[in-house]
Amino acid sequence: MANKKVTIVDTTLRDGSHAIRHSYTEEQVAAIAGGLDAAGVDIIELTHGDGLGGSSYNYGFSKVSEFDLLTAASAKIKNAKLAVLLLPGIGTIADLKQAQKCGATAVRVATHVTEADVSAQHIYAAKDLGMMAVGFLMMTHMASPERIVEEALKMESYGADYINLADSAGYLLPADVKARIEAVKNAVKIPVGFHAHNNLGLAIANSLAAIESGASYIDGTLRGLGAGAGNAQIEVLSGVLKRSGYEIGADFYQLMDIAQEHIDDIMLRPQTIDNGSLMLGYAGVYSSFLLHVYDAVKTYELDPRDIMVELGKRGMVGGQEDMIIDVAYQLKQNLEK
C-alpha cells in the first residue's frame, strides 16, 4: 500500500460554512482558497453548506452570495479544481451553469443514499458542461452495503467520475466504513471517496479505514470546521496519511499554517464534540441539524437531545431541517398536555 496516492478534497468553504452559519466573506474565501491551492490541495469545494441554492430560511441565509464567493475564490486558484455541491431538489442546473461562469470546474451531486436516480439530470448536465461530476451519497449509515452498491452503480451509469460515500451523521464505526467502501470499490470501475463527520470522535479513524479499504479521494476541512462536530481535520489527516506512508499532494506544514492564520479567528465555537454533536452521531441524525436544533431549543425550551432522538426515530434525512420545528412543536405540545 505504500506510496499510494490519495486525493485530498477540502470542504472548509462548503461543509465548514455550516459551522459559521454561512457567513463567509469574499476576503475570507479568497485567502483560504488561495492558501489551499498554494498548499497543493487537489479539489476545493465551495458553496452554501447545503449546496447551490441552499441559502434559505430552512438552512440559513448566506451572508454573501455563493456566486460572488466562487468568483473571489477562483481568482486565487491556479491549480486546484474548484468544486460546488448540488443537492437535487435544492439546487438546479441553472445554478450549476451560473457557478461554472463564476469559475467552478467540478460538481458533487448529492442525494440521500437510497435516491441516486434523482441525480441523473444533474450529472448528465455537468458532463455536457465539461465539468468533473462526482456522485455523492449521503447518510450512508441508513443503507446496507448491498443497497449502496446499487445506488453507486446508477451514479456511475450517469457518468460520475468518482463516487463519494458520506457518513453525514457521523454514525459509522470503522468496520461499517470498511464494509461500505469495499463493497462499492469492488462493484464500480471509477474511484471511491469518503466524507467523515466527527460526532463520535472517529472522523480520522474512519477516513483512514476508508483509504485502507480502497478509497482514493478523502474529504476534510481545516480545523475540522463543519456541521455537527465537524469533519476530518485536514491538517491532522495529512499528518496521519504521511505517517501511514500515503502520498498526498498537499503540504502538511502549509495546511497547518492556513488553519492557524485564517480559520481560528472565524470560528464561532470550538469545533469540539459537544453533547448535541455526540447525540447526532449516537442517534444517526444529519450533522447540519445541530445549530438549527440549538435555535429551536431557545424558542421551545426543550432539551436538544430529546429533539435529536425523535428526529432519529422518525428517519429524517438530509435537508429536512424544517422537521426540527415540527418535532419541537409536537414535543412541547405533549409536555403541556
Can you tell me the distance from the alpha carbon of 168 to that of 160, in angstroms, rounded to the nearest whole number?
20
| Nearest in space to 233 (alpha carbons), one of 265, 266, 207 | 207
310: left (phi over 0), alpha (psi -120 to 50) or beta: alpha
Among 23, 25, 65, 92, binds other proteins (CB under 8 A): 92
Q: To the nearest whole angstrom, how small is the minimum distance from the Cβ of residue 83 to other proteins?
A: 20
The 49-88 contact track toward other proteins, x by CB under 8 A, reads ----x--xxx-----------------------------x
| Stretch of residues binding other proteins (CB under 8 A), selected from 175-183, 283-291, 303-311, 319-327 | 319-327
Window 24-53: contact mask with other proteins (x via CB under 8 A) = -----------------------------x
User: 27 is written with which cell numbers?
Assistant: 476576503
Q: Provide, rounded to whole angstroms, the least separation between the CB of residue 94 and other proteins.
A: 7
Among 299, 301, 303, 335, binds other proteins (CB under 8 A): 299
CA dihedral sign, ordered 71, 88, 18, 153: negative
CB closer to other proteins, 77 vs 317: 317
* Residue among 286, 298, 163 at smallest CA distance from 226: 286
Q: Which region, judged by CB under 8 A, interacts with other proteins, from 194-202, 250-258, 268-276, 315-323?
A: 315-323
The footprint of other proteins on residues 112-151 (CB under 8 A) is 112, 114-115, 117-118, 120-122, 142
- Quote the distance between the C-alpha of residue 198 and its chain's center: 12
18 is catalytic: yes
Residue 236's φ and ψ, nearest 5 degrees, are -70, -45
In Å, how far are 16, 100, 128, 205, 252 from 242, measured between CA atoms?
24, 33, 37, 14, 8
84: enclosing H helix or E strand: strand 81-86
d(CA 130, CA 149): 26
Total of residues contacting other proteins (CB under 8 A): 32
Least distance CB 46 / other proteins (angstroms) = 21
- Residue among 6 and 324 whose Cβ is closer to other proteins: 324
**Is the Cβ–Cβ distance between 242 and 252 less than 8 Å?**
yes
Q: Give the closest residue to 296 by CA, choosing from 250, 328, 258, 256.
A: 328
Contact flags string 244-283 toward other proteins, x per CB under 8 A: ----------------------------------------
State yes or no: residue 216 binds other proteins (CB under 8 A).
no
CA distance 209 to 196: 11
DSSP-derived pairing of the beta strands 132-138 and 162-166: parallel
Closest approach, Cβ 284 to other proteins, in A, equals 12
Q: Of 5, 75, 79, 94, which lies in the binding site for other proteins, with binding defined by CB under 8 A?
A: 94
Nearer to other proteins, 4 or 127 (CB): 127
Catalytic residues: 18
Residues that bind other proteins (CB under 8 A): 53, 56-58, 88-90, 92-94, 112, 114-115, 117-118, 120-122, 142, 299, 314-317, 319-320, 322-323, 325-326, 329-330
